[in-house]
Chains A and B, each alone.
Chain A
């Protein structure tokens, strides 16, 4: 069957499932809308968290970035999994015990101040919107390939679908749909990986295939890859450090503590019935995530090898002739995300790291995973499945994020502070309007994303790392931190990080306003903007402790609250209404 038709059928079928589930589980009350009534089993919740968490950045973008960064790409692998250990141990159980709807609500109560709550809301909105921009880039890439249109048109179609999808559902719909989406996305990720691993190494398990020898030879795959890329002039795959050791350290740390401070992930742990479920839920989520994250580096290495084998044709005298280019090459040319320019006019594709002679003038990293099964010449149904998986990943995360934004605006801002006697119905309406607004802003910025999908998402993690994570940690583990300390800490942490990011990436990511330019020479100790969240977090802790030392201690009832959340018993029932 034609690839195009097949893709429509597979994508259409999965969408029918999601919409069916969303209608079946439609949210009736605000509580169902925000936290699914609080009655979700830990394994189910773990699976939904995994889908929520693994976004277009993980599915579409990450392996492509690792394929080009080699060892340096490890920051994403360790950073985006290691944070769950922190979340499981330091935050999830205590926040569940506390038992409210949103993260700003906890911050507002613990720091006995509506101002603290408002600052948290602002941080949350900045983080989530940045994150949604990254998703929109991924959605745009996936739809542009799937519909064979330009990136911009793909993005518009994607925005419309995310809008319809998230606005109707709410959390209850989202939780059950996300379970279905996890199944689709993990199958779509691992099936092609298994095929490619079998083809290249004869080992069906990609995690092992990556460390095996290439079929019919006694050369290890990674050694072969190192040899191929260095011959063409790229740097060594397994040793290539990103920036410096310090930069890699800070990058990984930013992603880890950012993970633990992401409001839309934390919110998931409010949906389980008990404190001990919050602990195991994080473990289950991590297992489901690790399935994809340990496959990704294998996909990356194998995709890179297949790409060079196709284009550079190592071992033969000539590289690939442009007129002979395969179908996937032509398809991606239509999206504008891949482009060839015959600089020396010989009709062959010279693909080198040297900007003056390289003829692959555009090769967007975000297309690697989607193109991978085509490059490896896998059957059409596998390619169609990957398209469905990419869309599932992007949709599930976008929905989760939009929910976090909506709840911050309608629950914290409107009901919590500005109009305390707002009706449930009006609150639901306000949150749906907030979602629509967020999609619009993120979509608009998605036309000129600041980085590849995973890079943009990494910025969002830096912002979460520098604002939400420190203040939650201090709120739980130190009863002496005062409201003044927390507010000053959050403002200083996210302020420093935003300032650093904006001066290199442009104010609100509009590139022309980047007054220092995105230049390595201007980086502080060689730390890239995406990795600066860890520095912001240190500033946040330092400022909060310093200010708390000179201001009045929190009142007794707040100190009692800190005691209360440390004990797992007596959780307020979170079952249905």
Chain B
């Protein structure tokens, strides 16, 4: 184990799980929320030629997905360095 102590390992994992939790909430809201469950409500509004719900279902959710994966990768990189477990060998 590369951690200095068991507590460090636990803290690292806890931060990781919290980050995953927050990002998956966003993941759920933009796709299942805006794109499916609340699509009719959002469709009352428009951006240009798009109804908003329709836009989320066919465009918006995908853009958010891309951002989410990069946010995860960069935040985890920071977390690895903070706990000294990044793999720079």
Contact = CB atoms under 8 A, between A and B. Distances in A.
Interface of A: 66, 71, 73-74, 77-78, 81-82, 84-86, 88-90, 93, 207, 210-213, 220-223, 238-239, 245, 248-249, 252-253, 256, 274-276, 279-280, 282-283, 286-287, 290, 293-294, 297, 563, 566-571
Given A81-B62, A210-B49, 20 more contacts: A71-B39, A77-B61, A81-B65, A82-B31, A84-B65, A85-B65, A93-B76, A220-B48, A238-B43, A239-B43, A245-B36, A252-B32, A252-B35, A276-B87, A279-B73, A279-B76, A282-B69, A290-B66, A294-B63, A570-B87
B13 interface: yes
Given A84-B69, A297-B59, A238 B51 contact: yes
Nearest to A285: B69
Interface in B31-75: 31-32, 35-37, 39, 43, 47-51, 54-55, 57-59, 61-63, 65-66, 68-70, 72-73
A196 to B, nearest CB: 16
Given A89-B23, A222-B49, A286-B65, A280 B87 contact: no
Contacts of B65: 81-82, 84-85, 286, 290
Interface in B1-48: 1-3, 9, 12-13, 16, 20, 23-24, 27, 31-32, 35-37, 39, 43, 47-48
A286 B73 contact: no
B69 A567 contact: no
With a 10 A CB-CB cut-off, give which of B13, B27, B62, B68 has the most chain A CB atoms. B62
Contacts of A78: 31, 35, 57, 61-62
Closest 10 CB pairs of A and B: A220-B49, A74-B57, A283-B69, A211-B49, A297-B58, A279-B73, A211-B48, A211-B50, A88-B69, A569-B2
A211 B54 CA distance: 11
A248 B1 CA distance: 44
Contacts of A293: 62
B52 to A, nearest CB: 11
Contact of A249 (B2, B32, B43, B50): B32
B50 A85 contact: no
13 contacts: A77-B58, A77-B62, A82-B27, A211-B50, A220-B48, A238-B51, A276-B77, A283-B69, A293-B62, A566-B13, A567-B2, A570-B2, A571-B87
Given A211-B48, A211-B49, A85 B77 contact: no
A349 to B, nearest CB: 29
With a 10 A CB-CB cut-off, give which of B16, B31, B63, B65 has the most chain A CB atoms. B65
